[in-house]
Amino acid sequence: MKVGPGGGLATSLATEAEGVPFRFTNDLDIDDDGNVYFTDSSTKYQRRNFLHLVFSGDDSGRLLKYSPITRETTVLSRNLQFPNGVSLSKDGSFFVFCEGTINRLRKHWLKGEKAGTSETFANLPGFPDNIRTNEDGEFWVAIHARRSSISYLCAIYPRVRMFILRLPIPAKIQYLLHIGGRLHGMITKFSPEGKLLQVLEDSRGKVVKTVSEVEERDGQLWMGSVLMPFIAVYDLSLGPTTDHPL
């Protein structure tokens, strides 16, 4: 949907692609021509059922493009596992998006010889949520939680996943908080080539227990979370080295 800078009633732009309705639209970015690149995390599960999406290993997610000229939505990639954050490169030649369930970033080329193809950009130590490009063309990635032995077992043994899904609500919520990993915020920065440049984490979970969004502006990182009732701000002037506490 689209809403003007003054607010008001939103206008619906698209509700389906190839005859398949959107179920879990998640994140987007817009190029200079107004094309909207966005993810539909699943064609089977909605936002409220995202634990089922994770534990079932659902791979019905799609990467999509909406054209403001033709007003049509096309599928750029399919059979993705929980596609989420999307962010264009500084030069607009590609964008990077997250595959949350399998802890991976993928690069989708828009220009050049590889246009229309995707490849692995980086493998992550945890479950990515959103990704944002800074003024230098680097990519900040919000990681909800680190992987752990529990998440590894869930990945290779479907029965373990199904057992957790049958747990009572409080137990599911507890797992949701951890997603099988350690409960503390973590963000990483990558170069346009996919090289790891920086890692920041609140290893004791004192302030930022989980991170869903990170945005760099004027030497500061602004962080949000689906679980925290506040926005956290980190001053990047504390230094360029890795492993700074948030």
For the chain, the structural domain boundaries read: 22-123, 126-246
What is the pLDDT tens value at each position of the chain, 246 positions in all?
A: 999 999 999 999 999 999 999 999 999 999 999 999 999 988 888 887 777 667 667 788 999 999 999 999 999 999 998 899 999 999 999 999 999 888 899 999 999 999 999 999 999 988 899 999 999 999 999 998 776 656 555 655 666 666 666 666 555 555 554 544 456 778 999 999 999 999 998 877 788 888 999 999 999 999 998 888 889 999 998 754 444 455
Q: Token pair of 47, please?
A: 């936002």
Where does residue 83 fall: left (phi above 0), alpha (psi -120 to 50 degrees), or beta otherwise? beta
User: What is the tens place of the pLDDT at every residue in 18-36?
Assistant: 999 999 999 999 999 999 9
Q: Of 192, 197, 182, nearest to 236 (Cα)?
A: 197
The single residue listed with the structure tokens 């879990």 is 24
C-alpha triplet 189, 51, 171: angle, nearest 5°: 110
The position carrying tokens 């802890």 is 103
Q: Tell which CATH classification among 3.30.428.10, 3.90.1150.10, 3.40.1670.10, 2.40.10.500 matches the domain 22-123.
A: 2.40.10.500
Q: Cβ distance 66 to 8 under 8 Å?
A: no
Q: What's the pTM value of the predicted model, to 2 decimals?
A: 0.84
Q: In three state form, how does the secondary structure of 88-112 look?
A: ECCCCCEEEEEECCCCEEEEEECCC
| Tokens of residue 103, six digits | 């802890």
Which residues, in sequence order, are bridge partners of residue 244? 200
Overall size of the chain counted in residues: 246
Joined together, the tokens standing for residue 98 give 């997250």
CB neighbour list of residue 235: distance below 8 Å, 6 or more residues apart:
219, 220
